[in-house]
Structure 1
């Protein structure tokens, strides 16, 4: 458990970070509002849309659909970082409350083993995706659709990088 001054400092840091996150999302919201009007209703069947988004994210089905081998690498990174979120929440709770997860019981052993396993998965996934990106000939995966509007600087950077 953290000393009181550390709890206060962490809470202040989290508050400041939260303000920056909210400000960033607000800026993105303003940028989207300035664009073209929505062509479809976005808030109809909101529970169903949220459920579909969660299931699509958790199962990573879209990544596996077209490129299963790349999907495995991508999912290793994704699931590792999702678990890192849980680890950070648990660490924050351990700092504020009197509890800890130790490896002297089956739940603690499973938690720590899963953290280690997923950390290794993140490392392998990132290395695999880097090898694929920089050392293999799969350049078609990194091309943009002709209809996609791109900044001219990005268009020249991507065309010179794929040569």
Structure 2
């Protein structure tokens, strides 16, 4: 069994409470030895830290941080469903970036998610990924992240 809880403590990272769904879905679901999260927004204490398009109202640097926060929320959903220490590796993330039409830095924004997963899981955090620019996201959030993880045994 992995010791991801200890790694989070070493990094000074505390998983937030699971964000309440904003529509008719569950935060995460288990299928076989995988957990798939719903798209997670960068809620902090139940509120979005910013709204708007990256490259216009939201800076790329701020969006990077929001991708990191959305990923923490996804990890919280995984932890709540199966326990974070049961994760063997990260398989895939999908990051959506609400983008100004001229903005093309979606991969750099979603690095906020990827780099967090590398910090926490090391080599087990290496994953396949998509970073997609979109016109708008729910609640006008700048970033949304989905996560797929594999479980031990």
Write 1 or 2 for the structure with the bigger share of strand.
Answer: 2
Q: Which has the higher contact order (CA 8 A, sep 6+)?
A: 2
Q: Same fold (TM over 0.5)?
A: no
TM-score in terms of structure 2 length:
0.25
**Which has the greater radius of gyration?**
1
TM-score in terms of structure 1 length:
0.24
Write 1 or 2 for the structure with the bigger share of helix.
Answer: 1
